[in-house]
Structure 1
Amino acid sequence: MAKLQTISEAEIQEISSTVKSRVVTEVVTQIQDMLGQLKSATLEIAVTGESGSGKSSFINAFRGMGDEDPEAARTGVTETTGEIMAYAHPTVPTVRLWDLPGIGTPSFQPQHYLEAVRLYQYDFFIIVTSERFRECHVILAKYVAQAGKRFYFVRNKVDNDVAATARRRGGDSSTVLNQIRTNCEAGLRQCGVDHPRVFLISSFEPQCFDFPQLQKTLVSELEGHKRHIFLLALPNLTSAVLKNKRQALSGSLWRTAMAACLGAMTPGGAMCSSVPLLMDTLRSYQQNFGLDTNSLHRLAGLTGKSYEELRREVRSTSGQELSMDGVERMLSQAAMGQQVLAGMLENRIPVLGTVASGGVSFIASYCLLRSAINDLSEDAERVMRKALNGSDLEYPEYQEDVPDPGEFY
């Protein structure tokens, strides 16, 4: 019989190191794939309607900017959309709203129209009017439904109707809105829509009327990554929206923190090697909560507040201008006093022991990002209340499952 050779301690350590290296490589690949799918997810929203219905103003309100913003969709009292125009969301550029040519002209033929505007590239359609819905709107909606796409009826400019009624004879605004809704739904039923849903909005007062309800409906009817990026693109009009954003960002927190610490596991890796990724993540959080410089300027222009008074409401360290040194200090502080939690996680996920030796621990990255999400959401709450003069609206919370890292491994 062949004599069995003994394995030295050095060889055992080498085998162990090789196995751990392969495990880490596989984990890195999986996490990068997950984060890549989230970042590359797209949402294409088609907005159409008659000339003068306020499509462009609706698109601007949806993107959280005023009509005078340099990046706003062009608006006017006549038809300004002669061709298809795409407008990316300012902080979530993979969310795009498409301003489509107007409908309702004598030459309008829905089947040719939908072919011309490339029907199948959009996730859903929003059909806008500033008066009553007509047969052309319903015909278009039916063709959209036949293609397996969702559509939503939006009655714009209801603020003008409420103000005009108040000037003529006074009266309660809710009565006016109920009349408008009843007339719109009745008109749609006459044209063949069995269960019409109409959202009454004002593009110039998006925090009022049915604008939040429209957003809530879209969130509930989207799925997966599309729902996630749509939620992050919502303007901060209510406390519940901010809570929902915090929940959505927490859903990818494990993966982001793991990617940061695994990124340090390169030859010569050190704490500083994870800082660029953490900086990028913190900056994206600032944008998601509308606290970066550009977002605050847009909000100031939209609400009439000054940029300076909105900026003063951003009080957390995470909400300030970020630097490499500053993020390193935040990372070091996050790592202090976390030994118990780190030990618990390491017992559940053995690879964390290897990760910690690579330069920066998972728990430090995780605690830093978790604290940042909480702090930034509180900053955004103060900014929202300052911008809206302390008002807030009811908006049911959306819940996204936050994965347990142990389940992933």
Structure 2
Amino acid sequence: MEIQEMDLREMGSMIQSRVVLEVSSQVQSLLDALETTTLEIAVTGESGAGKSTFINALLGLNDGDPHAAPTGVTETTPSPTPYQHPRLPSVQLWDLPGTGTPSFQAERYLQQMGLERYDFFIIVASERFRQNHAELARAVGAMGKRFYFVRSKVDQDLWASQRRRPTHFQELQVLREIEVDCIRQLQKEGLDSPKVFLVSSFELHRFDFQRLQDTLAEELEDHKRHVLLLSFPSVTAVAVEKKKASLRKHIWKKALLACVVSALPGLPLHLNIPMLMNTLDSYRKSFGLDDYSLGALASAVSKPCCELRSQVCSTLGKDLSENAVQAILSQAALYGQMAARLLKNKVPLFDNLVAGGISFVAAYYLLHTALDSFAQDAQRVLERAYSLEDEVQGSLCYPPDPGFIYD
């Protein structure tokens, strides 16, 4: 009888080890595929169109940041220059040399720029789209790549329009006129259905930036779509919700990995905390709740950083510490203990796998609730950041912006 029980225990241990190793390998492969997915974005246009400032806005960097793309009145990009995302090393935005030269040839330009490395092209213009923009778009499309037109500096256009006709000024009408004119210019050069987006790099939460992000996400494959949603700054309520939804799809992978670790004999639940801490920290940064992001936003909207930080009300948003994470895990683990006891009584050979199940429940609960609370924090921060600014912009008294900051 004792020998039979010993054989059963050995068999159970062998099965557990094989299951754990197989599941661990598969889950880690899924996570690696997601985290190593690359996104290469090419940004081009004429000198002075605002390419570099646009890149810095997408990266969430101020122009003065040491890792930001340099800006200036003259062309500052002599060759393709990559700028790595500060949080996602697999994402790079490429600042390409200007296209506004008399000898510009689209096919030759693309060969020199290394067309194949880029996932898509964003063509930036600040006044009007010209023949070379259309030629470049046609060449990009002919080679199987996507392209998008961004009409930059629309905040300056609105300010200038209001100055010219203060009593008859209507913002929506002016924006519509700009869009129609851009489409007309591109159609005149032979493009049938050009995608044009009106953007201000200093006010991404306004105009067409959200529509641009939605369009890019819709036209990318699954993993690249996820990476794009994480890499772009969350400047609208819609962006926050879409980022949360994309992250939520992958919670089960992190929770299952925590389950696998806890299923290994002799390893307690708390050994998952470093992995979970890293995940939670990446969530917080994705929503712009870290000190750098809050400081950059405060600077952009001319508000004290402490005013924005006061809108971070969640437990982990205010205190992302091991003690706080452990407390939430312990609370969540209680929910699974009763069911675990019943399961252990019926399947005594798989005690460690049952412990892994408790760990899965706890980790999933932690990540799910943290994701919701971080998204709510981000919404409050955005509302506070842009509330007063929107009131001021309602009168459309835009101060003139010096052109030299818009390269």
Say which structure, 1 or 2, has more relative contact order (CA 8 Å, 6+ apart): 2
Equivalent pair of 1:158/1:200 in contact (CA under 8 Å): yes
Superposition map of 1:49-60 within 5 A: 49-60=45-56
When structure 1 is superposed on structure 2, of 317-326 and 42-51 the one drifting more is 317-326
Counterpart of 1:69 in structure 2: which amino acid? D
Query: Cα distance 1:103–1:366, how it changes in 2: closer, same or farther (>3 A)?
Result: same
Deviation of the 1:251 alpha carbon: 0.5
Map Cα deviations across residues 89-123 of structure 1 (whole Å, 9 max, x no partner). 22333222110010020232222211111110000
**2:302 maps to which residue?**
304
Query: Cα distance 1:239–1:352, how it changes in 2: closer, same or farther (>3 A)?
Result: farther
Q: 2:332 aligns with which of 331, 334, 343?
A: 334
- Unaligned ranges ≥5, structure 2: 391-407
Distance 1:351 1:96 in 2: 49
**1:125 maps to which residue?**
121
Tell me the secondary structure at the aligned position of residue 48 of structure 1: strand
Q: 2:170 aligns with which of 161, 172, 189?
A: 172
Deviation of the 1:367 alpha carbon: 0.9
Distance 1:290 1:360 in 2: 31
When structure 1 is superposed on structure 2, of 364-373 and 268-277 the one drifting more is 268-277
**1:398 maps to which residue?**
none
Q: 1:110 aligns with which of 106, 112, 132?
A: 106
Q: 1:273 aligns with which of 271, 276, 286?
A: 271
Deviation of the 1:54 alpha carbon: 0.5
Query: Cα distance 1:322–1:105, how it changes in 2: closer, same or farther (>3 A)?
Result: same
**2:96 maps to which residue?**
100
Tell me the secondary structure at the aligned position of residue 262 of structure 2: coil
Counterpart of 1:209 in structure 2: which amino acid? F
Deviation of the 1:132 alpha carbon: 1.4
**1:214 maps to which residue?**
212
Distance 2:355 2:91 in 1: 39
**2:179 maps to which residue?**
181
Number of equivalences: 384
Query: Cα distance 1:295–1:381, how it changes in 2: closer, same or farther (>3 A)?
Result: same
- Identify, as 1 or 2, the structure richer in helix: 2
Q: 2:152 aligns with which of 146, 156, 167?
A: 156
1:318 aligns with 2:351: no
**1:261 maps to which residue?**
259
Deviation of the 1:247 alpha carbon: 1.3
Deviation of the 1:221 alpha carbon: 1.0
Superposition map of 1:52-91 within 5 A: 52-91=48-87
Query: Cα distance 1:147–1:353, how it changes in 2: closer, same or farther (>3 A)?
Result: farther
Equivalent pair of 2:77/2:97 in contact (CA under 8 Å): yes
Counterpart of 2:65 in structure 1: which amino acid? D
Distance 1:24 1:339 in 2: 21
Tell me the secondary structure at the aligned position of residue 202 of structure 1: coil
Equivalent pair of 2:198/2:209 in contact (CA under 8 Å): yes
Tell me the secondary structure at the aligned position of residue 187 of structure 1: helix
Equivalent pair of 2:8/2:349 in contact (CA under 8 Å): no
**1:144 maps to which residue?**
140
Distance 2:54 2:231 in 1: 15
Q: 2:22 aligns with which of 2, 22, 26?
A: 26
Query: Cα distance 1:241–1:268, how it changes in 2: closer, same or farther (>3 A)?
Result: same
Map Cα deviations across residues 61-89 of structure 1 (whole Å, 9 max, x no partner). 22223323333211112111112211122
Tell me the secondary structure at the aligned position of residue 387 of structure 2: coil
Equivalent pair of 2:43/2:93 in contact (CA under 8 Å): yes
Deviation of the 1:339 alpha carbon: 4.5
Map Cα deviations across residues 123-182 of structure 1 (whole Å, 9 max, x no partner). 000000111111111111111111111000111111111111110122112222222112
Distance 2:265 2:338 in 1: 28
Distance 2:355 2:154 in 1: 61
Structure-2-length-normalised TM-score: 0.88
RMSD: 2.5
- Unaligned ranges ≥5, structure 1: 1-5, 393-409
**1:224 maps to which residue?**
222
> Identity rate of aligned residues, in percent?
49
Equivalent pair of 1:269/1:359 in contact (CA under 8 Å): no
Distance 1:93 1:245 in 2: 18
Distance 1:63 1:164 in 2: 28
Equivalent pair of 2:210/2:239 in contact (CA under 8 Å): no
Q: 1:378 aligns with which of 376, 384, 391?
A: 376
Counterpart of 1:239 in structure 2: which amino acid? A
Distance 1:318 1:181 in 2: 43
Deviation of the 1:240 alpha carbon: 2.0
Structure-1-length-normalised TM-score: 0.88
Q: 2:285 aligns with which of 284, 287, 299?
A: 287
Distance 1:309 1:135 in 2: 47
Counterpart of 2:229 in structure 1: which amino acid? L
Distance 1:351 1:373 in 2: 35
Query: Cα distance 1:210–1:10, how it changes in 2: closer, same or farther (>3 A)?
Result: same
Distance 2:139 2:19 in 1: 51
Equivalent pair of 2:262/2:352 in contact (CA under 8 Å): no
Q: 2:12 aligns with which of 13, 16, 28?
A: 16
Equivalent pair of 1:242/1:377 in contact (CA under 8 Å): yes
